[in-house]
Chain A
C-alpha cells in the first residue's frame, strides 16, 4: 500500500513538473499562432508517447525481474540524481530558478517573429505544430520512462499511467482556467521531491537487481527514502552556506 502510494505520488509529481513546462510552450504557440495546429501538435506528441508506453511496457514484463531491476534501478538512479542535482543547485542559489513566465515571454516573442510557415495536410501552421509536438514529446519522454520503469517494478503499469494521466489532467484544467503559464507553482520543490523518490527507488531496486538482500526486506525502502532525503537536505544547507559565504556570481540560467 505504501509502495503503491509512493509510486503514484512519484509519477504524479514528475509528470506535473514536465506538464507545466510543456503547457508553457503550448500556451505560447496557441495564443500567438492559433490553436488548431497547436492542438494537432499536442495530439501527435501524446500519440507517440502512448505508443512508446504500449511497446516498451509489455516488452519489459517478459525480461527476468532481476535483470530488469538492475537496468531500471540504474536508469532511475541516473534520472533521479540529475533531477536532485538540478533542484539542489537551484535551491542553494547556484543556478537560477526555472521561470515559466520568462520562458513563456521568450516563446511568444519567437513565435511572433517566425513568419512564412506553410502547412501540410490538415496542419495549417507548421511552426505551431512542430513546436507543440516537440514540446510535448521531449518533456514527456522522461515521464514515459519513469512510468514504464516504476510501473514494471511495482507490477502495475496501469497504476503508474493513472498517476501520469491525473497530473496531465490537473495541469491542463488549471492551465485552461488561468490561461497563463503556471509560474507560481513550487516547481523546484516538486523537482526536489521527485529526485529524492527516483533516487530512493533506484538505490532499492538497483541493489536488489545486483543480488542484494535488504535488511528488513521491503520496509528498507522507507529507510533509503529517509537517507536520501537527509543527504539532499544536508547538501542544500551546506551549499547555501557556501553560496552566502563566497557571494557566488549571478546564478546561471537553469534548464
Chain B
C-alpha cells in the first residue's frame, strides 16, 4: 500500500491538478447532461453554461487564495 501512495498522489495531481472543483464540476455537468438527454430533454446548452460556472468558481477561489 505504501508503494502505491506516490502513484496515487501522481494520479490525483495529474487528473485533479491545482483545484478539485474543476474535476467535480466537469463530472457533475456531464452527469446532468446525460440525465437530461436520457429524459428526452435537449441539453446541448448545459455543458457550455456549466463550464462557465466552473471556471468562474475556480478563478474566484484562486483569487481569494492569492490575497
Question: Which A residues form the contact surface with B (CB < 8 A)?
Answer: 70, 73-75, 77-78, 81-82, 84-86, 88-89, 94-95, 141-142, 199, 202-203, 206-207, 209-215, 220, 224, 227-228, 231-232, 235, 239, 242, 246, 248-249, 251-252, 255
In the complex, whether B4 has a CB less than 8 A from a CB of chain A is no
Nearest chain B CB to A117 CB, angstrom units = 21
Question: Which B residues form the contact surface with A (CB < 8 A)?
Answer: 14-19, 22-23, 26-27, 30, 33-34, 37-38, 42-44, 46-48, 51-52, 54-56, 58-59, 62-63, 66-67
Q: How far is the CA of A84 from the CA of B55 in the complex (A)?
A: 9
Report yes or no: A210 in contact with B43, Cβ–Cβ below 8 A.
yes
Question: What are 13 sample pairs from A and B whose C-beta atoms fall under 8 A apart?
Answer: A70-B30, A73-B30, A74-B26, A82-B18, A88-B59, A206-B47, A207-B43, A210-B33, A210-B37, A212-B42, A220-B44, A228-B48, A251-B66
Report yes or no: A239 in contact with B22, Cβ–Cβ below 8 A.
no
Q: Which of A78, A82, A203, A251 contacts B47 (CB 8 A)?
A: A203
B18 partner residues in chain A, CB cutoff 8 A: 82, 85-86, 255
Nearest chain A residue, comparing its CB with the CB of B51: A203
Nearest chain B CB to A205 CB, angstrom units = 10
Q: Which of B16, B22, B43 contacts A212 (CB 8 A)?
A: B43
Report yes or no: B55 in contact with A231, Cβ–Cβ below 8 A.
yes
A213 partner residues in chain B, CB cutoff 8 A: 42, 44
B51 partner residues in chain A, CB cutoff 8 A: 77, 81, 199, 203, 228, 231
Nearest chain A residue, comparing its CB with the CB of B34: A210
**From A77, A141, A210, A227, residue with most partner B Cβ within 10 Å:** A210
Report yes or no: A206 in contact with B66, Cβ–Cβ below 8 A.
no
Nearest chain B CB to A69 CB, angstrom units = 10
Q: How many A-B residue pairs have C-beta atoms within 8 angstroms? Tell me.
A: 104
* Contact residues of A: prevailing secondary structure: helix
Known A84-B55, A203-B48; contact A242-B43, beta-carbon cutoff 8 A: no
Q: Which of A75, A206, A224, A235 contacts B59 (CB 8 A)?
A: A235
Nearest chain A residue, comparing its CB with the CB of B66: A94
Q: How far is the CA of A255 from the CA of B62 in the complex (A)?
A: 14
A95 partner residues in chain B, CB cutoff 8 A: 62, 66
Report yes or no: A224 in contact with B17, Cβ–Cβ below 8 A.
no
Q: How far is the CA of A78 from the CA of B63 in the complex (A)?
A: 20
A231 partner residues in chain B, CB cutoff 8 A: 51-52, 55
Q: How far is the CA of A232 from the CA of B38 in the complex (A)?
A: 31
B42 partner residues in chain A, CB cutoff 8 A: 212-213
Q: How far is the CA of A239 from the CA of B56 in the complex (A)?
A: 11
Q: How far is the CA of A220 from the CA of B44 in the complex (A)?
A: 10
Known A78-B26, A85-B22, A210-B34; contact A235-B55, beta-carbon cutoff 8 A: yes
Nearest chain B CB to A44 CB, angstrom units = 18
**From B26, B34, B67, residue with most partner A Cβ within 10 Å:** B26
A255 partner residues in chain B, CB cutoff 8 A: 18
